Amino acid sequence: MATKRALIVRLSSLGDVIFNLPLANILKSNGYEVTWITSEKGIDIVKNNPAVDEAILAPLKKWKQQSFFKNLKEYLEIIKYIRSKKFDISIDSQGLIKSFIWNAFSGAKRRIVSISGREFSFLGGNEIIEKMSTDYNNHAIKNYLKFAKHLNLDISEIKAELPPATEKCVSKINNLLKDISKSKPIIGIAPATTWVPKHWNKDNWRNLIEKLEQDYTLIFTGTPADQELIQYISQNKHLNLAGQTSVLELAEVFRRCDLIISLDSGSTHLAWASNLPKIVSIFCCTPTGLYAPMGEKNKYIALTGNLDCQPCHKRKCPLKENQNACTLNPSVEEVFNAVQTLLASPENK
């Protein structure tokens, strides 16, 4: 029997690329050879992933800095290569104009996209599936699995894996963590993300750190832009790895932790996909049912507040008064109690 070939078109973001890993796993387990085209934001997750046979880079960040004609040349080269693969199916799970191109010109016999696709991206498909759910209690992963359901594949197993750590990666993280105390449970703290209303109040963070630091070894992670926040909440007392790790190196840091405290962020989703640490995730403006880690209650706890406006899922707070009030919730005590609850619960092996 000839090998079935599938192309996944998902360019960004880091979290959404991770949320598409279960779809890739289902395709792979059902005999498909899986190719995935993604941008710089997703390439580290996709390349060498056990569920993906080939990763193709669409360098969107680089293209934004180049001339139209140079970009066009690279576009056409990638399209030519994709068409040479003679895909049986192409799945556009991004649903935007930037993904429309790859789906529409993939040459796949079946080009699948959701009617929910924006920017007329649905025009790139010849098979249109149902709308993506807007129910805040329906996880994003389940929306992406609608593509597998359309192909009559069993979607009961939700599984995500990351590429294996290289020796170089393991060695680097060994060196970065060589001086930390391993006599106490290790907690990784990823206190920053992108949207302002997703950020928990910095004084909440600082108070939480003061409650944790006596009994736990703390490791802070983030980007160089997060340095000021981390220095404030940690008071420069703990290991700060902000800006020192790549995506997969960060995943290896998380594998060394007993628990991660984070927001609705790529770090949370990366920690979930690494399958090892327990996770306490803090949700301010976005819905836990849509984005929180899926799995056992003794491994994952997602916390939010109880304001009438939560969740709103907006990048900018719509309130005229008490702007970003949601960022004060949940309380420090709730987060601290969740940490203690998870660390006291049985391990999931």
Same domain, 143 and 182: no
The per-residue pLDDT for range 8-54, each reduced to its tens digit, is: 999 999 999 999 999 999 999 999 999 999 999 999 999 999 999 99
Residue 236: which domain range? 167-344
pLDDT of residue 333: 98
322: left (phi over 0), alpha (psi -120 to 50) or beta: left
Burial class (CB in 10 A: 0-12, 13-18, 19+), 106: buried
Establish if 218 belongs to a structural domain: yes
Helix axes of 68-84 and 97-104: crossing angle, nearest 10 degrees = 40
The per-residue pLDDT for range 164-176, each reduced to its tens digit, is: 999 999 999 999 9
Among 120, 150, 180, residue at a domain's last position:
150
pTM: 0.95
The per-residue pLDDT for range 254-285, each reduced to its tens digit, is: 999 999 999 999 999 999 999 999 999 999 99
The per-residue pLDDT for range 100-140, each reduced to its tens digit, is: 999 999 999 999 999 999 999 999 999 999 999 999 999 99
Same domain, 80 and 213: no
Same domain, 59 and 205: no
How confident is the prediction for the chain on average, in pLDDT?
95
Mean pLDDT value across residues 326-333: 96
Establish if 93 belongs to a structural domain: yes
Same domain, 143 and 220: no
The per-residue pLDDT for range 190-210, each reduced to its tens digit, is: 999 999 999 999 999 999 999
pLDDT of residue 113: 97
Among 150, 176, 199, residue at a domain's last position:
150
Same domain, 9 and 99: yes
d(CA 55, CA 32): 14
d(CA 51, CA 61): 25
Same domain, 252 and 202: yes
Mean pLDDT value across residues 295-316: 94
Same domain, 327 and 178: yes
Q: How long is the chain?
A: 349
pLDDT of residue 349: 41
pLDDT of residue 1: 58
Higher-confidence residue of 349 and 254: namely 254
Establish if 155 belongs to a structural domain: no
pLDDT of residue 253: 98
Mean pLDDT value across residues 85-96: 97
What are the residues whose beta carbons fall under 8 Å from the beta carbon of 77, sequence distance 6 or more? none
Mean pLDDT value across residues 171-191: 97
3-state secondary structure 225-255: HHHHHHHHHHCCCCEECCCCCCHHHHHHHHH
Q: What is the percent of the chain where pLDDT is above 70?
A: 99
| pLDDT of 348 above 70 | no
Domain holding 334: CATH number? 3.40.50.2000
CB 180 within 8 A of CB 217: yes
**Closest Cα partner for 92 from 8, 26, 36, 159?**
8
Same domain, 197 and 103: no
The per-residue pLDDT for range 210-236, each reduced to its tens digit, is: 999 999 999 999 999 999 999 999 999
**Cross-strand bridge partners of residue 92:** 9, 113
Higher-confidence residue of 230 and 68: namely 230
**Closest Cα partner for 15 from 99, 122, 113, 93?**
93
d(CA 99, CA 188): 34
Mean pLDDT value across residues 243-253: 98
pLDDT of residue 346: 79
- Sorting pLDDT into bands at 50, 70 and 90, what band is 320? confident
What is the domain count for the chain? 2
